[in-house]
Copies of this chain bind each other. A is one copy, B any other.
């Protein structure tokens, strides 16, 4: 057997490209007050969403964002052959408990903030490989659950250093299918023009950053590695894409990525965007921008895919970036490795 779908070292090409059918996004109030506030399907005014804990609220967001994406194409959960996703909490409880409520076949992933790209990459392989007809790819994070798990209890009122980023409260879902949406599925919420063309699996890269408040710097080397590998595997130049979009490097990490790429002879400056920079406004007092795997999930679902669908762009390289940090590893003197997975989202010719 020849592996016809492989290109170069890390990149796979989809022969029957999975199609984007619908997306959904649910965010917190601060995300709703940001520049993309109008684009999200639902903005919560209370970040517990009526639940007794932030963790339970995040779980509800994960479950409801999948139901919302299904509703847009008039489907129920029975139409889903697989749910792929994860979150930042220990033992991915958000995804696990949401999957219990949804009752569909479930593959739990952990890629830190790279989870949205990891789920799209694996979901696309399931669809293109013929193993599933319809899949939901999901990622979620929540400011209040992440702070107390990774940093300090919110009640302490700790101030954050200038390189810190704010974990996005948000769940984003993308429905993929082997076939286009049936004609009877009406309405502006149904996507008709986008497929996933290829993807690049990242490897773990560690440049020795050990500061949990400087994740952009921890992730930038992995993002650079994946971009350079992707372009080398495909023989493409950065100009092949209308935009090269990272997940949550924030302002400092984005600068670092552009410089690291330049060192490798790859100039992405004119076309690089970062979801962590897009979601908040500098007036919102978020230091270096947004982070968390919900950040790239909701910006992709509510904003980037809309621009592609409406023909503002022809194709983008979407790359979610993960800082593989863990309080126990950090306490044992370990540095923070990063990983970045990428998918190419393209308008039909």
- What is the interface of chain A, defined by CB distance below 8 A to chain B? 1-6, 9-10, 12, 16, 52-53, 55-56, 81-82, 86, 89-93, 96-97, 99-100, 103-112, 118, 121-122, 125-126, 128-133, 149, 178-179, 201-206, 324-329, 332, 334, 337, 339
- B-side contacts of A327, CB under 8 Å: 90
Since A1-B178, A108-B111, A125-B125 are in contact, a sample of 11 more A-B pairs with Cβ atoms closer than 8 Å, ordered by chain A residue number, is A3-B81, A3-B132, A4-B130, A5-B131, A6-B132, A10-B105, A89-B326, A93-B324, A99-B203, A103-B204, A106-B204
Bound-complex Cα distance A40 to B179 (A): 47
How far is A53 from B331 in the complex, measured between Cα atoms in Å? 11
Residues on B with beta carbons closer than 8 Å to the beta carbon of A326 = 89-91, 93, 96
Across the interface, A91 reaches (CB within 8 A) one of B105, B109, B110, B122, namely B110
Output the nearest chain B residue to A205 by Cβ-Cβ distance.
Answer: B100
Q: Is the CB of B203 within 8 A of A55?
A: no
Contact A92 B110 (CB under 8 A): yes
Contacts of A56 in B (CB 8 A): 332
Q: Are A109 and B110 in contact (CB under 8 A)?
A: yes
Interface contact A6-B118, CB-CB below 8 Å: no
CB <8 Å contact, A105 and B332:
no
A-B contact pairs, 17 of them (CB 8 A): A1-B178, A3-B178, A4-B130, A9-B105, A89-B326, A90-B326, A90-B328, A93-B326, A93-B334, A96-B204, A100-B206, A104-B203, A106-B203, A106-B204, A107-B109, A108-B111, A129-B131
Distance in Å from the Cβ of A147 to the closest Cβ of chain B?
A: 13
